[in-house]
Amino acid sequence: MPSKRFVELQPDECWQRVRNATPRVGRLGFLLDQHPIVLPVNYAVDDEAVVVRFSGDTVFDDAANTRVAFEVDEVDEVWERGWSVLIQGQAREVVNEEEVARLATLPLRPWAAADRVLFLRIDARHGISGRAIE
């Protein structure tokens, strides 16, 4: 098998991969009681932001209004290829009723049963970066 190398992904390539990833599962990293935690979440992309749904009184309350990291990747074990995208930004709970109604139309369906009526929006204001192994 030929040697592989890392390739830096441009921001538009990163967004394209995050938008087209299947399944749409990423990992949300933030501080919980001053300790780092990383949790898998279903997500959707809205413009240049990631949106996740959550229910109140959960650990995701601690992620609202803080800096977070969000990561999505894809791995092909057979061909030993893959890519990873990291979004660093500000998370905020969406409270505007019009925005909540609009976000509710996104293709965002959590896998686990629960009443997830709140939205967390992660804006990539601190950057988006990625790399692929080819």
Instruction: State the maximum Cα–Cα separation within the chain, in Å, rounded to a whole number.
Output: 54
Q: What is the pLDDT of residue 52?
A: 93
Per the domain annotation, does 1 fall within a domain? no
Per the domain annotation, does 102 fall within a domain? yes
CATH label of the domain that carries residue 36 = 2.30.110.10
Q: Which domain holds residue 87?
A: 6-133
**Span between the terminal Cα atoms of the chain, in Å:** 11
Per the domain annotation, does 52 fall within a domain? yes
Per the domain annotation, does 127 fall within a domain? yes
Q: What is the dihedral of CA 18, 35, 32, 41, to 10 degrees?
A: 30
pTM of the predicted model as reported, rounded to 2 decimal places = 0.88
The total domain count for the chain is: 1
Per the domain annotation, does 30 fall within a domain? yes
The more confidently predicted of residues 4 and 45 is: 45
Positions of E strands within 33-123 = 35-42, 44-46, 49-54, 66-76, 81-93, 118-123
Q: What is the pLDDT of residue 1?
A: 53
Residue 6 near residue 83, CB atoms below 8 Å? no
Beta bridge partners of 70: 28, 87
R_g of the chain computed on alpha carbons = 15
